[in-house]
């Protein structure tokens, strides 16, 4: 193909519709930006892929329904990099639902979080447990690193910041390496409205894991600001284990220093509406951001994750992997994965993946990877998105070995999550996630009697990562 490479390439695809088990292996669509044809194909790609089982009743053996959402439903941004950022809530009009950033979110269920109203004093309890050597304090606006990494990108985040004159500050001093995680507990109170700003700072050459755990109820808007110093290695885990009625909007954004390694892990299992944005920007060359997500939506839950890797520095890496399962009427998930490789970001290597497993009728998953590339000089850029129903062939294979159906279903679902869960790399969190997934499955298929319980995943010596974890774009269209 001799088409000259456009200066700027926008890939907004997913052309993945899983129709049956045979297609499952091939559904992953990967675009390698180094390839002319991929770049070419991107120009006229559709905007989103949706598997909406609520519109296609009947668990046919070889059927699944997929619908490509029509492009042009909303006004698209010229570039992800041009999205307005501001600390002033009035810079963000109250959304109507047609905006690109809000079009997937049920605005009528946000518990007033987009209204400029005061928070309740007793909306939440925040407790920080930190090992020795960690500084825990507060930061006013403009103090320390506050505001250096996170600038609100939507109305909820701006209101959250505005409502937080003091931010909780967790600082791991330079060259301190922690053996155990810092634990931040946010417990919301039902019927209350709360807001918070947490600043996590890992100074240069430090190493730490910070677990932020959200439980309880109420409506909460949060800003989680992360500063990873040069050469530091920081893992931030955000657990959304809310009660059923909770609403949570959170912007989580990191500035990744030179040669630093940042890992962000979003685990969303609870809450009525959860919308979490995870962003990594780079402050110098050689930075590495791994952003993982695991979510499980039941009836009535809307779980939305937005990831953004903003490459403006040379030789940085980003690796984004979100996996979700849905079960029950009206279960709804959204994943929007943005990657921007700016002109200065030569030698960038990026990959993003989203997989959704629809377990029952009546659920709907949206998956939208967006890849913008402004330089041809990159190591690689790939994406994959696939949403499918439960694979009955896998079920048959396992059952043909005597494994009862409910145990087989569990094996398959656990297996589906395994590669991402194993990458979490924080044993306490991994265990909790697997336990929570088991509990979700109890709802779906009922508890399994002792006889044939599968071996504990945590006891598995080495759950091998899927081949797609090699970093190369997986599969072909």
Residue of the chain from 412, 429, 434, 474 that contacts other proteins (CB under 8 A): 412
User: Which one of 83-91, 123-131, 272-280, 390-398 is the stretch in contact with other proteins (CB under 8 A)?
Assistant: 390-398
Looking at the Cβ atoms of 376 and 475, the one nearer to other proteins is: 475
Distance separating alpha carbons of residues 379 and 374, to the nearest angstrom = 13
CB of 322 to other proteins, least distance (A): 15
In the range 429-458, which residues lie near other proteins by CB under 8 A? 451-455
Distance separating alpha carbons of residues 71 and 68, to the nearest angstrom = 9
Residue of the chain from 40, 120, 379, 392 that contacts other proteins (CB under 8 A): 392
Dihedral over alpha carbons 75, 76, 82, 83 (to 10 degrees):
60
Residue of the chain from 102, 242, 335, 416 that contacts other proteins (CB under 8 A): 416
Strands 302-311 and 332-341: parallel
Say which DSSP state 220 is in.
E
CB of 388 to other proteins, least distance (A): 12
Strands 302-311 and 166-172: unpaired
Given a contact cutoff of 8 angstroms between Cβ atoms, the answer to whether 367 and 67 are in contact is no
Residue of the chain from 23, 151, 436, 463 that contacts other proteins (CB under 8 A): 463
Sheet holding 288-297, edge to edge: 124-129, 182-188, 207-216, 233-240, 261-268, 288-297, 317-326, 349-358, 380-389
Tokens encoding 266: 């979003």
Binding map of other proteins across residues 222-261, x = CB under 8 A, - = no contact:
----------------------------------------
Residue of the chain from 31, 237, 407, 437 that contacts other proteins (CB under 8 A): 407
Query: Is 92 a residue that touches other proteins (CB under 8 A)?
Result: no
Query: Is 419 a residue that touches other proteins (CB under 8 A)?
Result: yes
Distance separating alpha carbons of residues 28 and 18, to the nearest angstrom = 9
Residue of the chain from 78, 136, 439, 464 that contacts other proteins (CB under 8 A): 464
Looking at the Cβ atoms of 184 and 357, the one nearer to other proteins is: 357
CB of 38 to other proteins, least distance (A): 24
Strands 48-52 and 67-69: antiparallel
Distance separating alpha carbons of residues 203 and 190, to the nearest angstrom = 36
Contact residues for other proteins, defined by CB under 8 A: 25, 61, 391-394, 396-405, 407-408, 411-412, 414-419, 451-455, 460-464, 466-467
């Amino acid at each position: 193909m001799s088409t000259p490479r456009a200066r700027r390439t926008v890939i907004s695809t997913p052309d993945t519709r899983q129709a049956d088990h045979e297609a499952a292996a091939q559904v992953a669509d990967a675009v390698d930006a180094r390839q002319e044809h991929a770049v070419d194909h991107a120009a006229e790609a559709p905007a989103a892929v949706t598997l909406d089982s609520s519109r296609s009743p009947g668990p046919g053996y070889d059927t699944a329904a997929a619908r490509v959402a029509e492009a042009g439903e909303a006004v698209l941004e010229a570039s992800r990099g041009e999205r307005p950022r501001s600390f002033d809530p009035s810079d963000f009009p109250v959304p109507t639902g047609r905006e690109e950033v809000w079009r997937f979110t049920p605005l009528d269920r946000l518990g007033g979080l987009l209204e400029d109203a005061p928070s309740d004093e007793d909306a939440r309890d925040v407790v920080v447990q930190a090992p020795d050597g960690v500084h825990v304090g507060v930061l006013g606006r403009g103090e320390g690193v506050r505001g250096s990494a996170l600038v609100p990108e939507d109305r909820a985040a701006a209101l959250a910041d505005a409502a937080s004159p003091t931010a909780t500050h967790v600082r791991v001093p330079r060259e301190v390496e922690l053996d155990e995680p810092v634990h931040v507990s946010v417990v919301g109170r039902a019927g209350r409205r709360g807001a918070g700003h947490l600043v996590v700072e890992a100074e240069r050459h430090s190493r730490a894991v910070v677990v932020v755990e959200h439980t309880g109820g109420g409506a909460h808007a949060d800003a989680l600001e992360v500063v990873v110093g040069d050469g530091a290695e920081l893992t931030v885990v955000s657990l959304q284990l809310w009660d059923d009625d909770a609403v949570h909007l959170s912007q989580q954004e990191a500035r990744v220093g030179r040669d630093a390694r940042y890992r962000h892990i979003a685990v969303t299992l609870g809450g009525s509406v959860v919308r979490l944005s995870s962003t990594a920007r780079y402050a110098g060359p050689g930075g590495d951001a791994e952003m993982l997500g695991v979510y499980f939506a039941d009836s009535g839950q809307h779980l939305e994750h937005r990831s953004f890797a903003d490459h403006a520095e040379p030789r940085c890496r980003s690796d984004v992997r979100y996996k979700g399962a849905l079960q029950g009427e009206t279960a709804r998930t959204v994943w929007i994965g943005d990657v921007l490789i700016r002109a200065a970001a030569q030698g960038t290597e990026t990959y993003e993946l989203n997989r959704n497993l629809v377990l029952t009728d009546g659920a709907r998953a949206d998956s939208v990877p967006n890849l913008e590339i402004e330089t041809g000089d990159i190591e690689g850029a790939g994406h994959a998105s696939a949403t499918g129903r439960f694979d009955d062939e896998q079920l048959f294979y396992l059952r043909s070995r005597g494994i009862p159906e409910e145990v087989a279903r569990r094996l398959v679902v656990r297996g589906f999550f395994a590669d991402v869960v194993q990458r979490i790399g924080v044993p306490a969190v991994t265990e909790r996630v697997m336990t929570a997934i088991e509990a979700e499955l109890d709802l779906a298929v009922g508890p399994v009697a002792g006889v044939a319980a599968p071996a504990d995943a945590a006891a598995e010596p080495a759950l091998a990562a899927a081949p797609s974890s090699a970093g190369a774009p997986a599969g072909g269209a």
